[in-house]
Homo-oligomer: A and B are copies of this chain.
Amino acid sequence: MAVHDAMDVLNGKWKISIIAALCFNKKRYSDLLNDVKGISGKMLSRELKEMETHKLVKRTVLSTQPITVQYELTEYGGKLKSVISNLADWGLAHRKKIIGK
């Protein structure tokens, strides 16, 4: 099933959140560490590496001093934006429903 194929690539606890964080801006490693609540450095680099091999994100090393690294969605990974957006809408409704009672 197609859904299963998608989930193969989006496995792990953090990938969806990382993609969501990259939806509107490129970000550096340390930015992601702040923006993706609760993630550890180890998991962030591990997930990013996986996503890079799956061509979901692009990694660029900037020759600043000290070196910084920029991550952004590929065109391909960007196709997930609408999925994420739908999910975010639902999550918002869900939160309201939970808080509401």
Contacts and interface: CB of A to CB of B under 8 A. Distances in A.
A91 B3 contact: yes
Report how many copies the assembly holds.
2
A95 interface: yes
Contacts of A63: none
Contacts of A83: 83, 86-87, 90
A42 interface: no
A97 B6 CA distance: 12
Given A82-B86, A83-B90, A93-B79, A7 B2 contact: no
Interface of A: 1-7, 9, 11, 13, 16-17, 20, 37, 76, 79-80, 82-84, 86-95, 97
